Amino acid sequence: MFAKIIGLLALSLPLVQGGGASTALIERAGPDLKTLLSEPGRKWCSGTQVFFPGQKNYASLTTQRWTTYEAPSYLAAIKPACVADVQKVVKLCAELDIPFLPTGGGHGYSTSFGKLKNGLSLDLGAFKQVKVDKAAKTATIGGAATFGDVFDPLYAAGFEIPTGSCSCVGFLGGTLGGGVGRYQGIHGLIIDSLLSLNMVTAAGKLITVSATENAELFWGMRGAGFNYGVVVNATYKVHPLTNGGEVQAVDFIFTREQNETFFKRLASFQGTLPPELALLTYVGWNATYGGTVIILDVTYPGSKDKFLQLVKPFTDLKPAYTEVQTLPWNRLLRQVGFQLNDLVCIKEQQHSLYSVGTRNLSSPDYISAFAKYDRLFADYPDTRFSTLELEVFPTQAVVAVPRDSTAYPWRDIQGHVMIQMSFTGSPTSPGAKAANKVAQELRTAFSKTSGYNQLEVYVSYAHGDEDPAAWYGKDKLPRLVELKKKWDPKNIFRFDNPLPSKYP
């Protein structure tokens, strides 16, 4: 069934310690990077590698971006093998104003990244370690480890941790914006499990940031962390496996004709989710079921009998297809949602994503959005890998954390509307233009009925054109800006939904 559904939805040369770079590589770089990266005095650690676009196997040996839409451009990439080299790179870029971007999982999709032109990729691909301390009930996770890398080591040790919904997203990148996900009703946001970070500052210093060391910066890192430094690893508290690690899951497919009754039923769940129940809804294209369809993915780490009672309102709608399964926690991301995770993790595709945080699951908004997607798919077949996603996660443990305790501003959001447009043609093709127009219209419509007085967006889901107040909150921005002045006065970390230089 998976294959049918997926099919129809719509050379490295190391710089050795004390040595220089290969002449063949130097010739591919611009003059500044050629000189700077090959100077013998750099004394890179053994195993640190430098790569240049056009070089054989460049794409397979460096971390490539998930989306190529409004992407940054690089003249070189460096993959440090040690923290000392991360410090050297940051110092070099700060001193000479070289635009650079730290890269962990490479899944960020804000158009703000595209403002980096002809820069340097600081590839953290060597920092993927996941170390579990069973006695302390903690896990230390490297700067490039993904959500998918974390599940097996924790599960084997008898623990879990909140994660995002997609296995290929970087764990640290997913943390720094706040970290929403299926288990947030039980354990809170990912930042609520964060104990400390080891990070390189704009001055090239390695510091520890926690509730007791650099506490004010720790506040800012939890919600706006990509503005202040490069996190090489972080330590989290981990939690005993809920329900012994056993998760109930069901995936439904509803047809075009069922969309109104489905969204009315979904709206009835507003504010009623138990802490363990998570709902992910996708509108997408599936030729087998007549074109535009709705997929609902529901998970619950509890008893099967209770789970079946909770999802009965949806089964009563007589979906076109139903798949119920019981699975271990470490297989959660890869097996639910008809294994769509494997499809959405394909890199180097064009994705233009807009998002809205909402308190309101009002069905007319979603029924209207379904109609717009249906028309888009009919008129522009090259957009049929686009989706409308609604993440409805419980908030009990999220709102239990005082709002002022972290920089993350939107703890009471009930749902994240993700308007994800994908297209196979040029970004200026008719299909791409039509998709972005629909996305902008829907963002405006959902924002008006969101239950908030202004646009509120989970920063990791931002398009990049919003006012920073939509990402960080008007009341939090002055404090965040003061932290920026202290820790990054030259604004070298300025490409990931950046803070303004002053506010208001």
226-245 tens-digit pLDDT: 999 999 999 999 999 999 99
Beta strands in 126-218 (DSSP E): 130-133, 138-142, 159-160, 194-201, 206-210
Res 4 pLDDT > 90 = no
Region of 229 on the Ramachandran plot (φ > 0 left; ψ -120 to 50 alpha; else beta): left
Q: How confident is the model at residue 324 (pLDDT cuts 50, 70, 90)?
A: very high
What is the Cα–Cα distance from 355 to 351, expressed in whole angstroms?
Answer: 13
Q: How confident is the model at residue 287 (pLDDT cuts 50, 70, 90)?
A: very high
Calculate what percentage of the chain has a pLDDT beyond 70: 94
- Of 53-62, 156-165, 416-425, 465-474, where does mean pLDDT reach its minimum? 53-62
DSSP element (H, E) containing 439: helix 430-448
Q: Is 232:143 a contact under the CB 8 Å cutoff?
A: yes
Segment 6-11 mean pLDDT:
37
Distant-in-sequence contacts of 396-403, Cβ < 8 A, 24+ apart? 396/185, 396/186, 396/275, 397/184, 397/185, 397/186, 397/187, 397/188, 397/192, 397/275, 398/184, 398/185, 398/188, 398/189, 398/192, 400/188, 401/188, 401/189, 401/192
What pLDDT does 33 receive?
Answer: 87
Give per-residue pLDDT as tens, 348-359: 899 999 999 999
Give per-residue pLDDT as tens, 181-196: 999 999 999 999 999 9
Res 32 pLDDT > 90 = no
Nearest Cα residue to 284 out of 211, 429, 385, 151: 385
What pLDDT does 14 receive?
Answer: 36
DSSP element (H, E) containing 75: strand 74-79
Give per-residue pLDDT as tens, 112-144: 999 999 999 999 999 999 999 999 999 999 999
Res 426 pLDDT > 60 = yes
Q: How confident is the model at residue 26 (pLDDT cuts 50, 70, 90)?
A: very low
Its pTM stands at: 0.93
| φ/ψ of residue 473, rounded to 5 | 85, 135
What pLDDT does 23 receive?
Answer: 28
What does the radius of gyration of the chain's CA atoms come to, in whole angstroms?
A: 23
Q: CA 339 → CA 7, 45, 73, 226, 342, distances in Å?
A: 12, 40, 32, 30, 6
No. of helices (H) and no. of strands (E), the chain? 19, 19
Q: CA 387 → CA 263, 299, 422, 439, distances in Å?
A: 16, 20, 8, 10
User: Tokens representing 378?
Assistant: 């009919």
Q: How confident is the model at residue 21 (pLDDT cuts 50, 70, 90)?
A: very low
Segment 466-488 mean pLDDT:
98
Give CA angle at 247 (279, 140), nearest 5°.
95
What is the Cα–Cα distance from 88 to 67, expressed in whole angstroms?
Answer: 28
Res 2 pLDDT > 80 = no
Q: Specify the residue for token string 């409004």.
A: 70
What is the Cα–Cα distance from 272 to 392, expressed in whole angstroms?
Answer: 11
Nearest Cα residue to 292 out of 227, 372, 204: 372
Nearest Cα residue to 147 out of 179, 194, 122, 125: 179
What pLDDT does 5 receive?
Answer: 39
What is the Cα–Cα distance from 363 to 91, expressed in whole angstroms?
Answer: 52
What is the Cα–Cα distance from 230 to 92, expressed in whole angstroms?
Answer: 14
Q: Is 241:155 a contact under the CB 8 Å cutoff?
A: yes
